[in-house]
Amino acid sequence: MVKYKLLSKQKEFMEIPHSNSLDVAIYQGGFGSGKTWCGSLLGILLARKYPGSRGLVGAKEYELLRKTTLVSYLEHLDALCYVEDKDYIYNKIDKIIRFSNGSEILFTSLDDPERFKSLNLHWAEIEEASQITDSSFKQLLGRLRNTYRGKNWVDFRYRLFGHTNPQPDKGWIWRRFVENRKENYRLVISPTTNNIYLPQHFISSLKESFDEEYYKINVLGEFGDYSSGLVVKGFNDLNKLKLKYNDKLPLYLTCDFNVDPMCWALAHKDDENVYFFDEIVIEKTTTQECIEEFIRRYPKHKSEIIINGDASGDNRSTQSEYTNYAIIKNALSEYGYTDVKFRLRDYNPPIMNRISAFNARVRNSKGERHLFIDPRHCKWILYNIYNLAFKEGTSIVDVPTHSQIKSSPDFKFLEHPFDAISYLVEYYWRLRA
């Protein structure tokens, strides 16, 4: 039997440092950092340690599992001297490894979360985790509910673990494991250089072959710039501030009138800077419901209210532009707000004009930043900044399709919050040739 000596990051990935009954871990590594090798070994160890347990190994497409992950599982079984048809059986039709101790490991694609909706699992593994949707991730979390326990399962914990290459956008892994990380969520970053078994010339050749940013992401396993291909450039933590609403300052309300979701943003501004401190994002709603929500949140504003936004109304809205702004004006007037001004363009500028004006506020060529967002209250605005992208090789914004939204409902929140905030920015800081 082969003896394994784990790399330091692999050991960190496998061991649970907290007392929570659920451990959720992502192993993020560069080329050759042993991601799949480590994940498949952990799956076998869990099946062996907890007789009668049920685990699942999934990826966006089954073909990826068949060619990589499953191969790694079978290689480990061979190295650990497991004999097929004696210690385990691999059923190619059902795509299940069944062990003689009663444990099972299921292999499946994760492209359709409904496919594994009825499963009850003790643990689950995700191959190339960044390729699956947040919906699939949440569905897997909900499957970790198998109540069977063997008599020797004294230290059992439910486990959801995955491995991935670093990605060029701030998707669900970034949100769950960096921005809003819970105590039992672990992100283990393993650079290629952590693998002491790789020949030295391999590391050297990578450094010579790749540019600095590519090397940082794909060799060191670190998070990159994330602006490549994204609509918003140069945004970082310096643009995030804890902001305080001031009822004595002018309040700017900027609107996008898509009905599902409808997205408005609230800000203060001066001659150079804009401060987005809140957002109103409501699904399957109306302008009337949104303005009522605004009044509920800000019932005692003492200064003027300035309305910016879509000049013509979103073409997917069932309401005209006149009706939208008339509803807002009438609701504010009925509540008692009389100092209300509308600052709208006669027509909406081209999207690239809005994008250019917005990016110039985020960070200009001198490195100055004039746009700030409160991360505590602007969840969907930040989601757009980190994820709204161009179609590859074009200057066309990549708007999610209906099928993408059905697969991952968060996608429907792309585009509209950015439209709302960029209407305001372009109105006051229009770039002129």
Q: Residue 52 pLDDT more than 70? A: yes
Burial letters for 334-353: b for 16+ Cβ neighbours within 10 Å, e otherwise?
Answer: eeebeeeeeebeeebbebee
167 versus 50: the higher-pLDDT residue is 50
- In a 13 Å sphere around the CA of 428, the CA atoms on its Cβ side amount to 24
Relative to beta strand 340-342, strand 262-269 is unpaired
Q: Residue 217 pLDDT more than 80? A: no
Dig out the tokens for 219 from the structure: 């060799």
Among the residue ranges 136-150, 230-244, 353-367, the one predicted with the least confidence is 353-367
CA gap 211, 225 in Å, rounded? 13
pTM of the model: 0.60
CA gap 171, 164 in Å, rounded? 13
CA dihedral 153, 159, 165, 167 (to 10 degrees): -170
Res. 112 pLDDT band, cuts 50 70 90? confident
Model confidence pLDDT, tens digit, residues 178-199:
888 999 999 998 887 777 777 7
Q: Residue 304 pLDDT more than 90? A: yes
Res. 26 pLDDT band, cuts 50 70 90? very high
Q: Which of 413, 432, 428, 433 is nearest to 309 (CA)?
A: 428
Q: Residue 322 pLDDT more than 60? A: no
320 versus 237: the higher-pLDDT residue is 237
Q: Please answer whether residues 224 and 168 qualify as being in contact, where contact means their C-beta atoms are separated by less than 8 angstroms.
A: yes
Q: Residue 289 pLDDT more than 90? A: yes
Say which amino acid occupies 22.
L
The alpha carbon of 187 is separated from its chain's Cα centroid by a whole number of angstroms, namely 14
Q: Please answer whether residues 427 and 307 qualify as being in contact, where contact means their C-beta atoms are separated by less than 8 angstroms.
A: no
Sign of CA dihedral 77, 78, 82, 86: positive
Which range, 4-8, 203-207, 314-318, is most confident? Answer: 4-8
Average pLDDT over residues 89-106: 96
Dig out the tokens for 41 from the structure: 């070994």
Res. 321 pLDDT band, cuts 50 70 90? very low
Say which amino acid occupies 91.
N
Q: Is 289 helix (H, G, I), strand (E, B) or coil?
A: helix
Q: Residue 134 pLDDT more than 80? A: yes
Res. 316 pLDDT band, cuts 50 70 90? very low
Res. 407 pLDDT band, cuts 50 70 90? confident
Crossing angle, helix 416-428 and helix 379-387, to 10 degrees? 90
**What percent of the chain is helix, strand and coil (3-state, nearest 5)?**
35, 20, 45
The pLDDT of residue 404 is 85
Dig out the tokens for 433 from the structure: 């040739």
CA gap 165, 168 in Å, rounded? 10
Q: Is 139 helix (H, G, I), strand (E, B) or coil?
A: helix
CA gap 28, 128 in Å, rounded? 9
Among the residue ranges 53-57, 114-118, 283-287, 408-412, the one predicted with the least confidence is 114-118
The CA angle 150-152-155, to the nearest 5 degrees, is 100
Res. 352 pLDDT band, cuts 50 70 90? confident
Q: Is 280 helix (H, G, I), strand (E, B) or coil?
A: strand
Q: Is 98 helix (H, G, I), strand (E, B) or coil?
A: strand
Q: Which residues contact 150 (CB under 8 A, 6 or more apart)?
A: 50, 51, 52, 53
Q: Residue 315 pLDDT more than 50? A: no
Q: Residue 347 pLDDT more than 70? A: yes
Q: Which 8-state DSSP code applies to residue 60?
A: S
Beta-strand (E) ranges in 180-261? 185-190, 251-256
Q: What are the φ/ψ torsions at residue 94 (nearest 5 degrees)?
A: -80, -10
Res. 270 pLDDT band, cuts 50 70 90? very high
Q: Please answer whether residues 105 and 56 qualify as being in contact, where contact means their C-beta atoms are separated by less than 8 angstroms.
A: yes
Strand partners, 209: none
Model confidence pLDDT, tens digit, residues 147-165:
999 988 989 999 999 998 7
Q: What are the φ/ψ torsions at residue 268 (nearest 5 degrees)?
A: -110, 160
